[in-house]
Amino acid sequence: MSGPATGKIRIILPPHLRGLAHVKGELQLEVSGTPTVRSVLDALEANYPMLTGTIRDHVTQQRRPFLRFFACEEDLSHEPPDTPLPDAVVSGKEPLLILGAIAGG
Amino acid sequence: MSRVRVLVGTRKGAFILTADGKRDKWKVSGPHFAGWEIYHMKGSPANPNRIFASQTSGWFGQVIQRSDDGGKTWTQPGTPPGEPTTGPGGMPKGESNKFVYDTSAETGKPLTTHQFYDGSQHPWEFKRVWHLEPSLTEPDTVYAGVEDAAIFRSKDGGKSWQELSGLRGHGTGPKWQPGAGGMCLHSIILDHSNPNRIYIAISAAGAFRTDDGGKTWKPINKGLYSKYIPNPTAEVGHCVHHIAMNKKRPNVLFMQKHWDVMRSDDAGDNWKEVSGNLPTDFGFVIDVHANDPETIYVVPIKSDGEHYVHEGKLRVYRSKTGGNEWEALTKGLPQKDCYVNVLRDAMAVDSLDKCGIYFGTTGGQVYCSPNAGNSWKPIVRDLPAVLSVEVQTLR
């Protein structure tokens, strides 16, 4: 599961957050160290400060309840945030998906 | 020539409607922040081109937006791109969308509990900003009324927010409870004649006043009668829907309560009912004519179980006597098969010589009367459900 800190991580945001961050399509971010959900979100917020607080709580750093993390057809939402991301995400073959719950709206 | 700028928050974005002083031909811009709930937008009286907006989502949380050019462009006041978003301790820095209750030993209050829907005690949890009230004199100062109920203040143009914790922690908090829309602080009124005096209202706790700039607060609910709480005349627990004031007479307040339209002539210390001949005294909005402090407006809603206008008729009721005697204003408004609601922050008045009245509906219409309510025209008919309406008079 682990991989060296080399390539860029591909991230797909939900549409509302793409609008807020003024981006189209998927993002690619350099992540230092072993890529994990936490380190990817750290890099995401550093590059796009407007997203701070929209994916995880400002203070507790807990994932907002209506958001989920998926990669390689697996649900990573309930993994500890320092769990290394799958190799396919680290290599850039697969993206990390941040999805909003399909409810109401 | 004078102009007006109407700021409309909806379930799916913000819209800005502009016209000259005739208020006949309108230009519509938007949606801004498409897809997001815009609970409220309001311009700074000290710098009318500065507008604050509360952009919120049950999925993604709270965002504060600010425009410094009258709504043409928007930014989030806060950390510029490229700067680290966390401080040395790993905690996030003070981005504009960060609202954290003040529990510090120096200025804060313990994060206690409030009453939940089922009567149990429930911890305070920040959910969203319902209302933004810019300072009357300082363009960088703005107040925010939030859910769960508290008041915050920014002194740096919305970059960072500090709670005025004397309200949440003043002692009656465990008796506050959420209304159907949540436990929200939805009304903030600044007193033009006294910079230390602020009124707020919470659903469902009641109205409160500070006379020392927000350090200490007291409930001002004497005279309210709410049959849906165990003690109908309790000090707190009343579901106040909105309060309004004419700046020329700052001691006179008007209130649309869950049921009952109320009036106070002594800065909220005592209230009396002025529902008079209204067909129903349930409702959400209430506002006061800008030039005549005895002329007030409400939109009666059928009941607490049926949140739409009475008898399928959209009628604004006006009292020119400060309450009790009401007349229906219907010219230009649908008088059959209409079942919209008008939410608590969705009515506003301009300050032109011929006072304009504006309101938005859950059906997406925004109506304007350029003649104090005598006749109405829709500015737009098909927006998403309207959450809030404010108007700026630009000279």
Q: Does domain B36-77+93-341 have CATH number 2.130.10.10?
A: yes
Amino acid at B28: V
Bond before B46 cis per omega within 30 degrees: no
- Cα end-to-end span (Å), chain A: 36
Q: Which residues in A lie closer than 8 A to residue B57 (C-beta atoms)?
A: 16, 54
pLDDT tens digit sequence for B102-136: 999 999 999 999 999 888 999 999 999 999 999 99
Which residue reads 């607060």 in tokens? B217
At residue B369, φ and ψ (nearest 5 deg) are -115, 115
pTM recorded for the entire structure: 0.92
Q: Which of B61-75, B205-219, B308-322 has the lowest mean pLDDT?
A: B61-75
- The strand pairing partners of B283, in sequence order, are B300
Cα A80 to chain centroid, rounded: 13
Cα B159 to Cα A46, B85, B131, B237, distances in angstroms:
17, 13, 16, 33
Q: Which residue in B33, B78, B100 is closest to A49 by CB distance?
A: B78
Tokens of B312: 């399928």
Q: Which residues in B lie closer than 8 A to residue A104 (C-beta atoms)?
A: 58
Q: Report the gap between the CA of B208 and the closest CA in chain A (Å).
A: 29
Percent of chain B with pLDDT over 70: 95
**Confidence category of residue B79, pLDDT binned at 50, 70, 90:** low
Mutate to test the interface with A, among B55, B59, B93, B126 (most CBs of A within 10 A): B59
For residue A105, what pLDDT is reported?
A: 47
Q: Which of A63-67, B39-43, B240-244 has the lowest mean pLDDT?
A: A63-67
Structure ipTM = 0.76
Tokens of B127: 């959910």
For residue A11, what pLDDT is reported?
A: 97
For residue B203, what pLDDT is reported?
A: 94
pLDDT tens digit sequence for B155-182: 999 999 999 999 999 999 999 999 888 9
C-alpha to C-alpha distance for B208 and A97, rounded to whole angstroms: 46
CA-based torsion, B372, B377, B379, B383: positive or negative: positive
C-alpha to C-alpha distance for B83 and A46, rounded to whole angstroms: 7
For residue B82, what pLDDT is reported?
A: 56
Is residue B217 pLDDT above 50, yes or no?
A: yes
For residue B5, what pLDDT is reported?
A: 98
Q: Report the gap between the CA of A55 and the closest CA in chain B (Å).
A: 6
Angle in degrees, CA B329, B335, B338, rounded to 5:
115
C-alpha to C-alpha distance for B393 and B384, rounded to whole angstroms: 24
- Tell me the average pLDDT of chain B: 94
Instruction: Tell if the CB–CB gap between A49 and B79 is shorter than 8 Å.
Output: yes
pLDDT tens digit sequence for B6-17: 999 999 999 999
Angle in degrees, CA A56, B127, B123, rounded to 5:
95
A93 touches chain B (CB under 8 A): no
Q: Which of B326, B318, B328, B307 is nearest to B259 (CA)?
A: B307
Mean pLDDT of all residues in B209-230: 95
A72 touches chain B (CB under 8 A): no
Mean pLDDT of all residues in B262-273: 98
Q: Which CATH architecture has domain A8-100?
A: Roll (3.10)
Listed in sequence order, the residues at least 6 apart from B393 whose beta carbon sits closer than 8 Å to its beta carbon are B2, B3, B4, B350, B351, B352
Count of A-B CB contacts under 8 Å: 71
For residue B94, what pLDDT is reported?
A: 46
